[in-house]
Structure 1
Amino acid sequence: WEGDLVIGKAGGSAIVTLVERATRYVMLGALPHGRDSEAVIGVLTALATRMPAHLRRSLAWDQGVEMATHPVFTVATGCPVYFCDPHSPWQRGTNENTNGLLRQYFPKGSYDFRTIDQTGLDEIAHELNTRPRQTLGWATPAQRLAELIAP
């Protein structure tokens, strides 16, 4: 998995983005009470536990302070966190691409993420996960994830 925060208007709000590298499956998490480490880790843990344990192999994140308590996430989920080199967004290329797709829904610099709840974020994630992608041979991320989950 690759993860990041998408920051809202004037830096006053944010959401968590998680993207599975092979399938491009997206999960979004609301941060209605701020983006300190405890809040981010709580949302990440809730999102990660939606997936079967065999799909929680690792998480790549940037060098942000929001992951200061990342060992709590690793203990709760069994998923180690790896940090990218500073100023190296290409090390999380799938997530950077996804964040660009999210800007179609949330224009940069003008969207306040406190105005959308988890249900709204789940609807947007569903739209992205059911949208065919050329990189997946025109399959959808949801279809590719289902292939990984199916016995």
Structure 2
Amino acid sequence: TPSQRALNENSNGLLRKDGLPKEMDFNQVDQPFISSVADKRNNIPRKSLDYRTPLEAFLSHLNGMGLSSLN
């Protein structure tokens, strides 16, 4: 039920707000539109990331790794 998938339902609502209705035919969507929606979604701070954006969390993870752990 939707009440058991709160995160999924919230994500779907945000995508619809960004211009992706339920009935949308994804065969008609071009890459620049998809990239713009992904960029918007990836720049929203998340509580689960201590209110950082996914990009900020990823970059801080990379900065903490060091070159020796890339081997």
- The two structures, once aligned, show a CA RMSD in angstroms of 2.5
Question: Which of 40, 48, 53 is the aligned partner of 1:140?
Answer: 53
- The runs of 5 or more residues in structure 1 that have no matched partner are 1-86
Question: Which of 8, 13, 22 is the aligned partner of 1:108?
Answer: 22
Deviation at 1:128, TM superposition (A): 0.9
Alpha-carbon distance in 2 for matches of 1:120, 1:136: 26
Aligned partner letter, 2:50: G
More strand by share: 1
Instruction: Choose between structure 1 and 2 for higher RCO, CA contacts under 8 A separated by at least 6 residues.
Output: 1
TM normalised by structure 2 equals 0.58
Larger radius of gyration: 2
Q: What are the equivalent positions in structure 2 for 1:1-150 lying under 5 Å apart? A: 90=5, 94=7, 96=8, 97-105=10-18, 106-109=20-23, 111-150=24-63
TM normalised by structure 1 equals 0.32
- The runs of 5 or more residues in structure 2 that have no matched partner are 66-71
The DSSP-based 3-state class of the residue aligned with 2:12 is helix
Deviation at 1:123, TM superposition (A): 1.6
More helix by share: 2
What is the number of equivalent residue pairs in this alignment? 60
